[in-house]
Amino acid sequence: MQMSTFLLSFCFSLSTAFYFHVGEREEKCIIEDIPSDTLITGTFKIQRWDLGRHDFLESAPGLGLFVTVTTYSDEVLLSKLYGPQGTFYFTSHSPGEHIICLESNSTRLVSFGGSKLRIHLDIRVGEHDLDAAIAQAKDKVNEVSFKLEHLIEQIEQVVKEQNYQRDREENFRMTSEDINSNVLWWAFAQTLIFISVGIFQMKYLKDFFISKKLV
């Protein structure tokens, strides 16, 4: 099984849509820096390359997508097999980098490892599926009020993202100040050592010359 990794950043961006090409049963991983207590929604669709048409087919029957989400502390947030298209969800428990791995999984008896696939992926940070949520909440609230709540949720997510970045900048600043302070004290300590060694050598030489009656 082949695996490759690429890095995406969603800082101050609530939605990112893109596609990439993989071989059948090849794994690709995304490293994403996410604040804590943040809902991530991923919508995907797999297309298979057709040699006769020289184009990608709209659907990929017999194919599935295995989605795994882990943290750098090896905490598994999601591990599930989906069909050729679908939506996955997970919520971050702590801030930091999360690893989202996608691997195509054939349900056919015979798999051609060299098959070329195109995977469309739309990742949304801190958003819920409006259509599904509206359908569930139709008897309780109207669509306008629900979209207003959705907008408020997006604003809260932006504030959370800003606070997270502010905390990271503050931690980086404090670390830099500590390093600069340590470097300054070390330079001061080296200077004192050099002066002490010089004074000791001068005193030793003076005592040596006196003992030999050279001065």
Q: Each residue of 14-46: pLDDT tens digit?
A: 567 888 888 888 889 988 888 888 888 999 999
Note the CATH number of domain 17-127.
2.60.120.680
Residue 78 has pLDDT above 90, yes or no: yes
Q: How far apart are CA 78 and CA 136, in angstroms?
A: 24
Place of tokens 């990112």: 16
The pLDDT tens digits for 91-128 are 988 888 899 999 988 655 444 445 788 999 998 887 55
Least confident of 29-38, 64-73, 111-120, 195-204: 111-120
According to DSSP H, which parts of 41-142 are helical? 130-137
pLDDT attached to residue 140: 62
How far is the C-alpha of 32 from the C-alpha of 20, rounded, in Å?
17
* 115 compared with 84, residue with greater pLDDT: 84
**Residue of 118, 119, 112, 110 lying closest to 49 (CA atoms):** 118
- What's the Rg (C-alpha) of the chain? 30
What percent of the chain shows pLDDT beyond 90? 17
Identity at 1, one-letter amino acid code:
M
Higher pLDDT, 67 or 124: 67
Lowest mean pLDDT among 49-58, 107-116, 161-170: 107-116
Type of residue numbered 17: A
pTM for this entry: 0.57
* pLDDT for the residue numbered 9: 44
For residue 211, give the amino acid letter.
S
